[in-house]
Structure 1
Amino acid sequence: ALSSNSPFWAGRFTGLKSYRTVVWKPFPRSGIPEIFPAWRDFDAYVQALIKSGSIDNGKKIWWDIRPHPFFNTVEFRVFDMPGSIDNTMAIVALCQALVAKLTRLNNVGLWTPLLSNHFIEENKWHAMRFGLDAEVIDYAQVRRLGMRESISELLDFVDDVVDDLGSRTEINYLRAVLEDQHGTGADQQIAIYRETGNIDDVIKFLMRETMKGIPTEDVDVVRAM
């Protein structure tokens, strides 16, 4: 929901805040992964795919989140394409904070509830359809709440690791997005289209957002290409 930025497809308004999620859905080995109890279980799955000729390496697994097969990292792939550098850095900071917080909990023998993929898929649908205006279900506590409230609680959850990571500015950026009626790229695109009725105006907005923060001399080089 925070990264939703593709309400249009082939020049037409889709009614979804993140149509890119729909485009990715038919791809094999995509979406929400099953739970692997340990690294060896994940590695056994990858090796089985390689030996059977389905893939040539683990990078051909395109789940929303996955262990990187070659680096000692967790790769987040669930997001839509951010439209600006600031938005990109803020989302990266949230991912980093999540990993740091969960690692800290794990180190002291604590954990968060594990949910069925069916529940996660339900909330994912609402996120890609309605973005920050969605209502989602907290299945751990069996309650329904707005997406903005849900994300705000997530930001509170990671707050105690943010300063150690040096990402307070980026997390505050996300809090500002939650407070803005047109906070996401999708919301901004839709607002422009409703005002002008011209998809070209949406494209120009996306270009400005992409170039924001880039040194002027680099912008001139791009324009000359």
Structure 2
Amino acid sequence: MGQPLPPAGVPTVGVEEEFLLVDPATGVPVPRGREVVAAARERFGLDLDHELLAAQVEAKTGVCHDLAQVRRELVAMRSAVSRAAGEAGCLALAVGAAPLGEPAGPIADLPRYRLIARTFGRLADEQSICGCHVHVGVPDREVAVQVCNHLRPWLPVLVALTANSPLSRGRDTGYASWRTVVWHRWPTAGPPPYFSSWAHYQEVADLLRESGAATDPSMLYWDVRPSCHLPTVEVRVADVAAGPTEALLLTALVRALATTAVADVERGVPAPAVPTEALRPAGWRAARDGLAGRTLDVLSGKQVPVRHLLRRLVRHARPALSANGDLDLVERALAALHRVGCGAERQRRLLARTGTPTDLLDVLTADAPDPLVPAPYPGERRAGGSWPVPLGASREGF
């Protein structure tokens, strides 16, 4: 039976999640990506991708029409990744940055990654960081560029909302999202420029490749960008979520922002021309403070609580959330998140109680209990106390 058709006007979505492979006893990253990829394919029917470091893997949903489908695929993926890691003698962590051990590691033995390592040196092998990327379908690349412009002001809020990497080398970094700080070392990372057209985007992309700052189109690492091979806008600003509900929340908000942006583009409403020099410090402050702190409101130029900006984001996207059928999930997930805090807050609370960073490992595994433990999404029911985990979902697309 084919996938049900989405409601008219509701864009498709896809989610990519990166996971860190660590020693079960010490939490130190281990280069077992090849073994985990093989075990996932052979034992659990899941195709994983290698990442830059051999201690990472990436899982992708198919092209999804609603959040219930996204949830099923995320839970199935995380279960399979965890079991495959167990087969390879390691743990798969859903955490934005390696909390223990050295952040450097061997590069995955693939031609593209060997080229990146030769080009960027030590920068490449200190990337024990894991993100979550959300793709949203758009009509064409010209619209995609304008949608990216409309999403730029919301990037700092999404950084704070998803912050899940406060530790490095077993110590608190002082940042809620250390992944963001490490990631922004790349010359093509961070908030993108404001592009006037697809042609303008291509001009800048060509310039970056000519300079050597990007070895190929996939190395345009901006926080939001038109996909280089799909008819989507890709938001790349988030730490990988500790649980599937936080990933769903991010997916719903990104899709609603993109839906709103497409409507604005079609009506001729221009995006706010927020300068990159405002977005960059706003993103830095959001990465430092997380959901409970403050950051720069890039529209007013004033420092405000992150939760204030999050409420504004939800108001802005509320009609699209409702039209997409995602409003109920977002309201319940946000209520739970406000109660328990973002991933960085939860890690710090646990560490304050135990004082032992390895105690974090059990709660950071890819298949750990969902920290937000919501009521089932419409159309799903709990079975045996856990979410159903079908593995037959399509892998095409994202």
TM category (shorter chain) comes to 0.7 to 0.9
In the alignment, what sits opposite 1:59?
Answer: 218
- Cα contact 2:285–2:295 (8 A) shared by 1: yes
Q: Which structure 2 residues correspond to residues 9-24 of structure 1 after superposition, within 5 A?
A: 9-24=168-183
| Match status 1:80 vs 2:239 | yes
Q: Paired residue for 1:193, among 346, 351, 365?
A: 351
- Cα contact 2:176–2:288 (8 A) shared by 1: yes
Q: Residues 151, 28 of structure 1: CA spacing in aligned structure 2 closer, same or farther, 3 A cutoff?
A: same
- Give, as a single letter, the amino acid of the residue that structure 1 aligns with 2:288: R
In the alignment, what sits opposite 2:255?
Answer: 96
Q: Which structure 2 residues correspond to residues 117-132 of structure 1 after superposition, within 5 A?
A: 117-132=276-291
State the shift of 1:192 in Å.
0.5
Q: Deviations over 1:41-99 (max 9, x none)?
A: 11233345556766453111111111111211111111111111111111011111000
In the alignment, what sits opposite 1:149?
Answer: 308
Q: TM-score, normalised by structure 2?
A: 0.50
Q: Residues 173, 3 of structure 1: CA spacing in aligned structure 2 closer, same or farther, 3 A cutoff?
A: farther
Q: TM-score, normalised by structure 1?
A: 0.86
Structure 2 unaligned spans of 5+: 1-159, 371-385, 392-398
- Cα contact 1:16–1:128 (8 A) shared by 2: yes
Identity of aligned residues (%): 27
- Cα contact 2:188–2:214 (8 A) shared by 1: no
- Give, as a single letter, the amino acid of the residue that structure 2 aligns with 1:198: T
Q: How many Å separate the matches in 1 of 2:366 and 2:238?
A: 21
SS of match in other structure, 1:144:
strand
| Match status 1:34 vs 2:190 | no
- Cα contact 1:102–1:111 (8 A) shared by 2: no
Which protein has the bigger helix share? 1
| Match status 1:68 vs 2:216 | no
- Give, as a single letter, the amino acid of the residue that structure 2 aligns with 1:6: S
- Give, as a single letter, the amino acid of the residue that structure 2 aligns with 1:190: R
Range that drifts further, 14-23 or 133-142: 133-142
CA RMSD of aligned residues (A): 2.4
State the shift of 1:175 in Å.
2.5
SS of match in other structure, 1:31:
coil
- Give, as a single letter, the amino acid of the residue that structure 2 aligns with 1:205: V
